[in-house]
Amino acid sequence: MTSVNKKFQSPLARARGLGSSREGAHHWLRERVAAVAVLPLVLWVVFSMVNLRGKSYWEFTQWLSQPWNTALLILFVGGVYYHAATGLQVVIEDYSTSNARQLCLIFASKLAFIFMGVASIVSILKIAL
């Protein structure tokens, strides 16, 4: 259809075929589940950091060497990075107009979040062990 004919179309006719890709609801749900899963861990981290305020590095390493604390901190870091990656993906999809740029930005951001997550988990394990 030529551009001359498009200007005479109704808004509904122009919008047909531009509907949902049927992935938005699943992505939205994953983002919300990640947020709900991280919320108790955020409360635990805040409570733990308040209790560790003024403690020495040795006392912190003793606290972190307890398996329960190590596991919860790793879950916290993984959940936060996952939630941040899904949130940034939505921002990129909403504000990037070029499909090629969108794919590059999403790939680069996911790669960066994976790198930061792995580095954080390795750091936690290095201190804990």
User: Is 121:78 a contact under the CB 8 Å cutoff?
Assistant: yes
Q: What is the pLDDT of residue 27?
A: 84
Q: What is the pLDDT of residue 88?
A: 96
Element (H, E) at 16: none
Of 121, 125, 124, the closest CA to residue 79 belongs to: 121
Query: What is the model's pTM?
Result: 0.80
Query: Phi/psi class of residue 17: alpha, beta or left (left: φ > 0; alpha: ψ in -120 to 50)?
Result: left
Q: What is the pLDDT along the chain (129 residues), one digit of tens a residue?
A: 555 566 677 777 666 655 555 567 888 889 999 999 999 999 999 999 999 999 999 999 999 999 999 999 999 999 999 999 999 999 999 998 899 999 999 999 999 999 999 999 999 999 999
